[in-house]
Amino acid sequence: MTVDLDYLKDVLGRTRAEVAKVIIGQDAVVDRALIAILTNNHALIEGVPGVAKTLLVRTLALVLGCDFARIQFTPDLMPSDITGTNVFNLQQNAFTLLKGPIFTTFLLADEINRAPAKTQSALLQAMQERCVTIDRESYALSPNFTVFATQNPIEYEGTYPLPEAQKDRFMLKVNMACPERDDELTLARRMLGSDSPEETLASGAVQPVLTPVELERIREGFRAVTVREELLAYMVDIVRATRMRDSILVGAGPRATQGLLLASRVTAVLDGRDFVTPDDVKEIASAVLTHRLVLRPEYEIEGLTVPEVVQDLLREVAVPR
């Protein structure tokens, strides 16, 4: 199978253009979200309130022709509030399944760290196997099922840190910063009229680019993106280096290697190429690795951060020629 690069570029270009009608700036964030979707994985989005995290996912769902559901994670949220439960139907004299919001395509787990681990774990099977078990019976989810979980990076009161097993199931961590001055000025001007981002999304101005079936099909095109053997070894060496560094208590596992490979292929196509380069690996490595690493306390006390460690690793691991 060969890559129809022109088709992929056209689809990605139209997708970016439709999303840009609503999301002002944040081009890198949009690309990261598309990488998660096009590799059939999940993303953890971190940003302060008001930077359009929810709006981004709603817009992507519309543009890619997928269903959308949102769950507000709170301390009293129960696993059954996510997955659903069997309810006794008096008319039928039998139990019937009342499906929870997890039965969708794009699921926004808003402020996921506000719920305890018991509730967070309700997503584990769905994220890994795309099915849900309720009362010992398994139910299939959409093959395009994708979780976008959000976190507030500055407010930790009343929160429950995500377990390592949960974080490892997110292929990417996307840091969504405040927009640049010109973008924020554009947003302010639009709020004065009738074309604010929310109104634009609700007005029908944003058109779907794909259907769920086409989204599944387009993923096949990325399989033929060329990845040299030396680059595969480069990615493995980067991930393995996280397990051997003195400053790192918990390094990245094999799932990080898989994520780095898949993300690098989509990154190449986003840049208009059908082959992966070392720069593609470096560009996406921080997003794939940062949330998977745990520093030793003594190094954290000295002010060392995980992104700094990742950048050091990328400078130290030999780049293939």
pLDDT higher than 50, residue 1: no
Q: What is the pLDDT of residue 153?
A: 76
Q: What is the pLDDT of residue 118?
A: 86
Quick one: average pLDDT of 238-251?
Answer: 92
Q: What is the 3-state secondary structure (H, E, C) of the chain?
A: CCCCHHHHHHHHHHHHHHHHCCCCCCHHHHHHHHHHHHCCCCEEEECCCCCCHHHHHHHHHHHCCCCEEEEECCCCCCHHHHHEEEEEECCCCEEEEEECCCCCCEEEEECHHHCCHHHHHHHHHHHHHCEEEECCEEEECCCCCEEEEEECCCCCCCCCCCCHHHHHCCCEEEECCCCCHHHHHHHHHHHHCCCCHHHHHHCCCCCCCCCHHHHHHHHHHHHHCECCHHHHHHHHHHHHHCCCCCCEEECCCHHHHHHHHHHHHHHHHHCCCCECCHHHHHHHHHHHHHHHCEECHHHHHCCCCHHHHHHHHHHHCCCCC
**What is the set of domains in the chain, with CATH numbers?**
1-223 (3.40.50.300), 225-321 (1.10.8.80)
pLDDT higher than 90, residue 171: yes
**pLDDT classification of 265: cutoffs 50, 70, 90:** very high
**pLDDT classification of 126: cutoffs 50, 70, 90:** very high
**pLDDT classification of 256: cutoffs 50, 70, 90:** very high
Q: What is the pTM of this model?
A: 0.90
Quick one: average pLDDT of 69-81?
Answer: 92
Q: What is the pLDDT of residue 140?
A: 93
pLDDT higher than 60, residue 216: yes
Q: What percent of the chain has pLDDT over 70?
A: 98
Quick one: average pLDDT of 85-109?
Answer: 88
